[in-house]
Amino acid sequence: MRHLMIYDMIEAVHRSGSIRKAAEDTNITASALNRRIQTFEDEFGSEIFERLPRGMRLNPAGELLLHHIRQQRQDLARVHSQVADLSGVRRGHVKIACSQALLPYFLPREISRYRAEFPNVTFTVNVRDRIQAEQDLVNFDSDLALVFEPAHMVDFEVLHAVHQPVMALMSTAHPLAGRESLRLRDCMEYDLVLPAPQFGVRVLLDQAAAKLGRKLEPALETDSFDMVRHFAAYGQGIGFQIPVGLNTLARPDMTFVPVSERDVLGGDLYLGHLRGRTLPVAALKFAHQVATALSAARA
């Protein structure tokens, strides 16, 4: 798409903040790039960059244009994807922003299942918290977001939602292993290993503890869900996670016990995309597969 090169150039200047740096990324001379920008501004009818002594910065007009550029590029990708689908071969690239819990089991399984059928579709997966994920959609950095307990949902259009109770995880040797269900106050008798306060599971647990007039004092607090699992597996601590982040078969040395909904209500896992967007076929069909898988997993 040679005729859209100017858009790449504008984005490059925006990213690097200077024509000279952007020129390197674009494999072009600074003078050529400079004149492309100038010519474009002439045609566009107004400047899109502020000229600062230290470089270039988008002005408000440029910000509006940038959003248009991203949107139109995404829509072109959608067209490409649909055209490929016309000829029976599904092609495309799917960008996903997701909560950490989806990383270890769920997404790898779903992606490889999908790629078994459509090997020409490639994926990008980025870990994003509840706020960043939505921002990613707005900036067209991601096609799909899969988020536990999202924050705003303003620009978020829900494709599918499933309820996720909070599960306690522990070594099979743990005194509480084998119970059908756990009360939160039972857990608090033992060492706790909790995700950092910004994560959805932690927010739910904190709220539940507050309701009991208690405060959770974790033995280990981490921003890595991997760490939570491993510490719970080898130590005597109790970790917490939602079902989609767990896999019974993969961890015979661990037990997963639901925390009673009388204490912790659980939260919702949302699959969605940017409000009003038309997804490329590849992304849309993957979303359907994920939605089906989520429903099946719950049952």
Q: How far is the CB of 141 from its own copies (least distance, A)?
A: 19
Cα(50)–Cα(62) distance, integer angstroms: 9
CB of 54 or CB of 215, closer to DNA: 54
Cα Rg of the chain, angstroms = 24
Q: Taking CB under 8 A as the criterion, which residues in 184-223 touch its own copies?
A: none
Total chain residues near DNA (CB under 7 A): 23
Q: How far is the CB of 91 from DNA (least distance, A)?
A: 24
Chain centroid to Cα 166, Å, comes to 20
* Those residues with Cβ within 8 angstroms of residue 274's Cβ, 6 or more apart along the chain or in another chain: 137, 138, 140, 155, 156, 157
Cα(110)–Cα(245) distance, integer angstroms: 13
Token pair for 30? 């600074």
CB of 21 or CB of 80, closer to its own copies: 80
Q: Which does 20 bind (CB under 5 to 8 A by kind): DNA, its own copies, none?
A: DNA
How many CB atoms lie under 10 A from the CB of residue 249?
6
Letters for 2-41 (x = contact with DNA by CB under 7 A, - = none) are x----------x----xxxx-----xxxxxx-xxxxxx--
Largest CA distance in the chain: 73
Instruction: Judge whether 94 and 143 are in contact, CB under 8 Å.
Output: yes
Q: Which does 30 bind (CB under 5 to 8 A by kind): DNA, its own copies, none?
A: DNA
Decide if residue 46 touches its own copies (CB under 8 A). Answer: yes
Decide if residue 64 touches its own copies (CB under 8 A). Answer: yes
**Interface segment toward its own copies; rule CB under 8 A; list 11-19, 41-49, 124-132, 139-147:** 41-49
Taking each helix axis from N to C end, the angle separating 60-86 and 281-298, rounded to the nearest 10 degrees, works out to 80
Cα(117)–Cα(114) distance, integer angstroms: 5
Residues forming the site for DNA (CB under 7 A): 2, 13, 18-21, 27-32, 34-39, 51, 53-56
Residues forming the site for its own copies (CB under 8 A): 1-6, 40, 43-46, 60-61, 64-65, 68, 71-72, 75-76, 78-80, 82-83, 86-87, 276
